[in-house]
Structure 1
Amino acid sequence: MSSDPLVRLEGVTKRFGDTVALDNLTLDIAQGEFVTFLGPSGCGKSTTLRILGGFEQPTSGRVLLRGDDVTKRPPEKRNVNMVFQDYALFPHMTVRQNIGFGLELKGMGKSEIAKRQDEIMSFLELTAYGDRYPAQLSGGQRQRVALARALAPDPALLLLDEPLGALDAKLRGQVQQELKSIQRRTNKTFFFVTHDQEEALTMSDRIVVMNKGHVEQDGTPEELYFHPASRFVAEFIGETNLLTGELRGTEGNAVVMDWFGNTLRGHAPGGVPQAGEAITASVRLERLGFHAERPTTANAVQGRVVGKTFLGSRMALDLMVEEANGATLKAYVDADTGQSVGEAPVWIGWDESSMAVLRD
């Protein structure tokens, strides 16, 4: 990836009347990145996509593409293309004609268009479907045609507005892998918008979690999942145990907290709160380990299994920690481990790096 960003958003704010959809958003996107904007409805992710595409004008701030200010340029004057959720294919045009449509708008000659159509259909394995109409294609094939049409003009940036939302669960999983493979092979920059956290974790190089027009956290899928900076991120991405206690202080890089008389150690991706403040920490369900004797992990409490749920390849355990005033924890373990853990008290251990102290 180039050291200079392909896209830069500088202090972008967007208001709709009294509603602030985006509030002073500043963000860089590098060449070849697969960046996902993730968040609930109304968080500002689709507004950002529309501003990048030129379909909305920011109230203030700038949009730079390869260092060139394109803030006031219409969509057709930007080297950007978009794939919509419903694909927006022309039903009266064949696959070949749909792919060629944007090339005709660019003023390319017929022979050049035909060459590019052949190249992109071969690349996306659509050659056999060139004379078919969208209604004659499966959902996955239509998605590939929409991608082919968007990629054919060779845009610098591809915007994808929840393009997998219309697919059933099984097909969506297949297309997720295919879409990521296409992005890697083309080295195109993809800006992907979704509210589906599993989809974001599966596909992205980088995830930007949005909340009420602000960036809650920006990082790799692994960073956001295992090291959430805020309670919003911890709860929005996956399942987690939330432990509320009081901050005692720090020991080196460790944050020390009191949890019902138990001393626990973690880290604070979003910054360390003031000592004595009530704080909340996040521990992912699969990070809890079970032991007959007290483990050597940084954190250890005794608990008792009060519920089991069989989930196929794994099992969910509900645990009551009597020495923590009857607080409950939940854990994911493999099915064999789940079967072996009985009703007798067990030690539950987790590492310092597995517990993230959160911002509110």
Structure 2
Amino acid sequence: MTSDALVRIQNVSKHFGDTTALDDLTLDIARGEFVTFLGPSGCGKSTTLRILGGFEQPSSGSVILDGTDVTRLPPEKRQVNMVFQDYALFPHMTVRQNISFGLELKGMSKPEIRRRQDEIMSFLELDAYGDRYPAQLSGGQRQRVALARALAPDPALLLLDEPLGALDAKLRGQVQQELKSIQRRTSKTFFFVTHDQEEALTMSDRIVVMNKGKVEQDGTPEELYFHPASRFVAEFIGETNLLTGELRGTEGGAVVMDWFGQTLRGHAPGGVPQAGTPITASVRLERLGFHAERPATANAVQGRVVGKTFLGSRMALDLLVEEAQGATLKAYVDADTGQSVGEAPVWIGWEESSMAVLRD
């Protein structure tokens, strides 16, 4: 266990009958880190959260929290709290009463409870809502109360099970920023579960992409977005161009591939495949640049615009690469650039670092 790790998940597997929800998962979570488990339904992210919270027992493996093995401990014996998707607030209790519930279970005295209530309500700007009931609050306010109730007992680890799923798009964006700000100010360790890629990219220090019970890739939002290791990650997080060709080999650390007769250079975050094998590379739409003459970028092809879609502040361009036997690319550019690119052939360039060769 590394010195700054609060949580260690060690060789954890979970089976439900013949179904494997988690397959030998090993992972460290550092103190004060905002870690997001991202993936589609059934990938194992919620099972991991429930095992950390003590709501599920692993079939094998162990969970270490702050140096203590908590694998078989019930939820109330762990320094862990949880914010549920539906908030799970007690409708018959006021905001103050909801916040005090966990403090009473800890056996705190009334003066201590009152002090902690005041402290957490002031911190989350809930002072004016102490005597209101959940039904009298907006979605964002209920979310803050649920967070206040979870933070009040001062847990070592906070688990968040898609807590923004019930909010509309505009409010969700506001609460995302607020939640990240709260995490930074408290220096608490947050374990966040979501299937929303934008949410994960916006909020996380680190994202763990899950697929079929295993870690597909683990890294910062920037690493996963611009340097995906697998086709699954490249397609699951954002939009991308997938270029399928044949690996020629490596030159000076760069991976060299043939794409419809074009020589392209990239890098391989997931490891270099065997030479001569079919491979796929990912290039994000916003990484493509447009030039009147051949650019000095590592990769350059000629093409022409065959379609434009106006998206407000930016424009999507559909491109036909003329020398590559009908191959196509898609690009995002600002609206002004999109207007200026006509139907005449243009040079399309991108750097070696912008093209990630993927493992299957």
Residues 256-303 of structure 1: CA deviation (Å, up to 9, x unaligned): 000011100000000000000100000000000000000000000000
1:198-218 deviations in Å (ceiling 9; x for gaps): 000000000000000000000
Separation of aligned partners in 1, 2:316 and 2:179: 32
Is contact 1:43-1:213 (8 Å) kept?
A: yes
- Offset at residue 306 of structure 1 (A): 0.2
In 1, the alpha carbon distance for the partners of 2:59 and 2:322 equals 54
Distance in 2, Cα, partners of 1:218 & 1:2: 17
What are the ranges of 5 or more consecutive residues in structure 1 without an aligned counterpart? none
* 1:325 CA displacement: 1.0
Instruction: Tell me how far apart the structure 1 counterparts of residues 89 and 159 of structure 2 sit (CA, whole Å).
Output: 16
Report how far residue 2 of structure 1 moved: 8.2
Across the two proteins, how many residue pairs are aligned to each other? 360
Q: Distance in 2 between matches of 1:236 and 1:2?
A: 30
| Pair 1:2–1:125, CA change in 2 (3 A) | farther
- Given that 1:247 and 1:274 are in contact with CA atoms closer than 8 Å, whether structure 2 keeps it comes out as yes
How many angstroms apart in 2 are the aligned matches of 1:100 and 1:68? 27
1-structure distance, mates of 2:255, 2:327: 21
CA displacement, residues 300-334 of structure 1 (integer Å, 9 cap, x when unaligned) = 00001000000000000000012111011000000
The whole-number CA distance in structure 2 between the counterparts of 1:223 and 1:274 is 23
The whole-number CA distance in structure 2 between the counterparts of 1:325 and 1:102 is 65
> Which structure 2 segments of 5+ residues have no match?
none
Q: How far off its partner does 1:253 sit? A: 1.3
User: CA offsets, 1:154-198, max 9 Å, x none?
Assistant: 000000000000000000000000000000000000000000000
Q: Which runs of 4+ in 1 moved over 6 A?
A: none
2:2 and 2:175 map into 1 onto residues whose CA distance is 28
Q: Secondary structure of the residue that 1:107 maps to in structure 2?
A: coil
Report the secondary structure of 1:228's partner residue. coil
For 2:69, the equivalent position in structure 1 comes to 69
Does structure 2 retain, via aligned residues, the 8 Å contact 1:2–1:31? Answer: no
TM-score calculated relative to the size of structure 2: 0.99
Distance 1:308 1:175 in 2: 33
Match of 2:120, SS state, is: helix
Post-superposition Cα deviations, 1:22-55, rounded to whole Å, max 9, x if no partner, equal: 0000000000000000000000000000000000
In the alignment, what sits opposite 1:190? 190
Q: Aligned with 1:332: secondary structure?
A: strand
SS in 2 for 1:82: strand
Partner of 1:331: 331
Q: Which residue of 1 is the match for residue 306 of structure 2?
A: 306
Shift of 1:4: 2.9
Identity of aligned residues (%): 91
Are the aligned partners of 1:89 and 1:98 in contact in 2 as well (CA < 8 Å)? yes
Aligned to 1:161: 161
Question: What's 1:102 paired with?
Answer: 102
RMSD value, Cα: 0.9
- TM-score, length-scaled by structure 1: 0.99
CA distance in 1, matches of 2:325, 2:28: 46
The superposition leaves residues 32-90 of structure 1 with CA deviations (integer Å, 9 ceiling, x where unpaired) of 00000000000000000000000000000000001110000000000000000000000
Deviations 1:336-359 (A, max 9, x none): 000000000000000000000000
Q: Deviations over 1:231-276 (max 9, x none)?
A: 0000000000000000000011100000011100000000000000
SS in structure 1 at match of 2:286: helix
Task: Please tell me whether the aligned partners of residues 282 and 357 of structure 1 are also in contact (alpha carbons under 8 angstroms).
Answer: yes
- Output the CA distance in 2 between the equivalents of 1:252 and 1:185: 44
